[in-house]
Structures are given as structure tokens and as C-alpha cells.
């Protein structure tokens, strides 16, 4: 009785709401705050130790060099973003298609999945020249390499999601005479979406580095090519500028997928399927 009265006291629910709001704002602010602390410590260390520019340039020097070379940086970034987006879309299409086929056929699973694992185990740097020989030294090569890197997390998570439906739910659909397609459309697919988006978030964070790996070896444009060129020219500030711009692009891809996820499956919390990655 005392507990019930306490729960109904005025302001008790408001206190919980305020605590939740504080936690939410803390989660929003902690990321930018850590970035400021890291770059501030980097700047301070470089100035106090007077580290040579070719070893560890100051963030302020990197920002100045990036601004001076912004036209070329943005141009190369645009090329890499096109390749990364193409690779991401290709990986998502192939992975989801394979996952549906795996869920529908045990034979297909035993035949195809081992080869996917083998492909994932091959070093990307080793396979890139081979792919370039087959399809040419062009932007599509970078898309394929990015897709290979992004394929596995989407595939594994989607397969797990499609298989996560409980036996009770399947039995209920059977009792109501649901067809195989209706069971997939109304039961398996909605249940798999949180897992698929977990894989998409992982894939979104690796497609930019994947495209850059291909650019290092086969391309004549893009951020990967830019970083290699500046490295050969000992322009360390611009090397770091290219790396930081690529990092921001990867974070942008991840954030975009997370925002889309909130609109597509607002009922799901990302943490619920974090273990599926």
C-alpha cells in the first residue's frame, strides 16, 4: 500500500522523466566532448613536444592544409562516396537475397554459405588486383571491393533474423492456414528487420575504407588515391586531412542508416539486437 501511494505522489513521475532526459542529453553531448578532448590533447602534445610535422602534425595545421586544398579534397570525397554508396547498395541487395534463399533451402545454405565465409577470409588487398584484372581499373572495382567487405555482416544478421521466429508463432500461422509467402511477409520479414539493420550499420561503417583500399591499388581518383599521392609527396598534413575526411564520411554513412532505421522500424531498439553483429 505504501509503495502504491508513493508511486502516485506528485512529481515522482516527473523526476523519472527528468532523469531520462538528463541521460539522453549526456549521451548526445559525450561524443562531441570526447572529440574536443582528444583533439585538444593532440594539439597540446604536438606544441609542447614540438613534434616534426612529418611525424605528427598539429590538428590546427591539418585543418589549415585541408582548407587550402578543399576543392581537391571535396572532389575526391565525392568520388569515394559514390563508390561507397554503390558498394553498400550492392552488398545489401546480394546479402538480403542470399539470406532469403538460405532461409528457404537447407541445401542452398550448405552449398553457398561456406563459399561466402571463404570469400570473407581472403585478404582484400590480395584480391583487389585480381578483380581489377577481371572487370578493369574503374570505379566499379571499388564498388565491388566495398561490397565484399560489407556483405558478410548484412548476410549473417539477416539469416539470424529470419531464423529468430519462435516455433509458437510459426505454429499459429500454420493453424490459420497462412501460405509460405504470407508467413514470410507478415512474420519472418518484420522479425528480421532489426537484425538486418544491425548488419547494415556495421556495413555502413566499413564501405568507405573498403572503397579506399581499392583506390589505393587500382584507381586514379578518390580519397584513397589522394592519401597515397600526398604520402608520396610527404604532405603529412594532407594525408591526415584525407584520413579524417574519410572517417567523417564513414560516421555519416553510419548515422544515415541509423536514422533510416528509426523511421522504418520505430518499435525496435538497436541495443536489442546488438549481439547479432
User: For residue range 31-71, what is the model confidence (pLDDT) as tens digits?
Assistant: 778 878 887 888 788 788 877 777 788 888 888 888 988 89
Q: Classify residue 148 as exposed, middle or buried by CB count within 10 Å of its CB (0-12, 13-18, 19+).
A: buried
The b/e string for 214-234 (b: 16+ C-beta within 10 A; e otherwise) is bbbbbbebbbbbbbbbbeeee
All three cell numbers of 178: 497462412
Residues 94 and 193 occupy one common structural domain: yes
152 pLDDT exceeds 50?
Answer: yes
Of all residues in the chain, the percent with pLDDT exceeding 90 is 33
Mean pLDDT of the chain: 82
Mean pLDDT of 257-263: 92
How would you class 72 by CB atoms within 10 Å of its CB: exposed for 0-12, middle for 13-18, buried for 19 or more?
A: middle
Residue for cell digits 523526476? 15
pTM here is: 0.80
Which alpha helices (H) appear in the chain, and where do they start and end? 2-7, 12-49, 59-68, 70-104, 106-121, 124-135, 139-162, 167-175, 180-183, 189-218, 223-232, 236-264
State the burial class of residue 195 (Cβ atoms within 10 Å of its Cβ: 0-12, 13-18, 19+): buried
Q: Are residues 128 and 244 in the same domain?
A: yes
**Average confidence (pLDDT) over 147-159:** 92
- pLDDT confidence of residue 216: 84
One domain for residues 26 and 105: no
Instruction: Give residue for cell 575504407.
Output: 209
Q: Are 158 and 99 in contact (CB under 8 A)?
A: yes
Angle at 124 between CA 94 and CA 205, to 5 degrees: 60
Range(s) of the domain holding residue 227:
57-276
Domain count, the chain: 2
If asked whether residues 74 and 44 sit together in one domain, one would say: no
My answer on whether 156 and 236 are in the same domain is yes
Angle between helices 236-264 and 223-232 (to 10 degrees): 160
- Is residue 26 scored above 70 in pLDDT? no
22 and 150 share a domain? no
* Helix 236-264 / helix 189-218 crossing angle, nearest 10 deg: 160
pLDDT tops 80 at residue 275: no
Residue 1 has pLDDT above 70, yes or no: no
Q: 130 and 146 share a domain?
A: yes
What tens digit of pLDDT does each residue of 83-124 get?
A: 999 999 999 999 999 998 888 777 777 888 888 888 888 888
pLDDT of residue 54: 77
pLDDT at 7: 47
Amino acid at each position: 500500500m505504501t509503495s502504491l501511494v508513493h508511486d502516485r505522489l506528485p512529481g515522482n513521475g516527473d523526476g523519472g522523466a527528468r532523469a531520462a532526459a538528463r541521460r539522453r542529453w549526456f549521451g548526445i553531448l559525450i561524443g562531441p566532448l570526447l572529440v574536443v578532448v582528444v583533439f585538444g590533447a593532440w594539439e597540446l602534445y604536438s606544441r609542447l613536444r614540438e613534434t616534426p610535422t612529418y611525424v605528427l602534425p598539429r590538428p590546427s595545421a591539418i585543418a589549415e592544409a585541408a582548407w587550402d586544398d578543399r576543392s581537391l579534397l571535396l572532389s575526391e570525397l565525392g568520388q569515394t562516396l559514390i563508390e561507397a554508396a554503390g558498394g553498400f547498395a550492392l552488398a545489401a541487395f546480394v546479402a538480403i537475397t542470399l539470406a532469403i534463399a538460405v532461409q528457404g533451402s537447407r541445401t542452398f545454405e550448405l552449398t553457398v554459405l561456406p563459399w561466402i565465409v571463404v570469400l570473407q577470409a581472403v585478404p582484400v588487398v590480395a584480391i583487389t588486383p585480381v578483380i581489377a584484372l577481371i572487370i578493369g581499373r574503374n570505379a566499379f572495382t571499388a564498388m565491388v571491393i566495398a561490397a565484399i567487405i560489407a556483405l558478410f555482416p548484412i548476410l549473417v544478421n539477416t539469416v539470424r533474423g529470419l531464423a529468430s521466429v519462435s516455433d509458437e508463432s510459426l505454429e499459429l500461422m500454420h493453424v490459420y492456414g497462412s501460405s509460405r509467402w504470407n508467413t514470410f511477409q507478415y512474420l519472418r520479414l518484420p522479425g528480421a528487420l532489426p537484425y538486418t539493420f544491425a548488419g547494415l550499420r556495421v556495413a555502413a561503417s566499413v564501405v568507405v575504407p573498403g572503397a579506399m583500399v581499392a583506390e589505393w591499388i587500382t584507381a586514379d581518383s578518390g580519397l584513397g588515391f589522394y592519401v597515397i599521392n600526398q604520402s608520396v609527396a610527404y604532405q603529412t598534413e594532407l594525408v591526415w586531412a584525407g584520413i579524417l575526411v574519410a572517417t567523417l564520411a564513414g560516421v555519416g554513412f553510419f548515422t544515415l542508416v541509423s536514422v533510416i532505421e528509426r523511421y522504418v522500424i520505430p518499435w525496435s531498439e538497436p541495443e536489442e539486437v546488438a549481439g547479432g553483429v
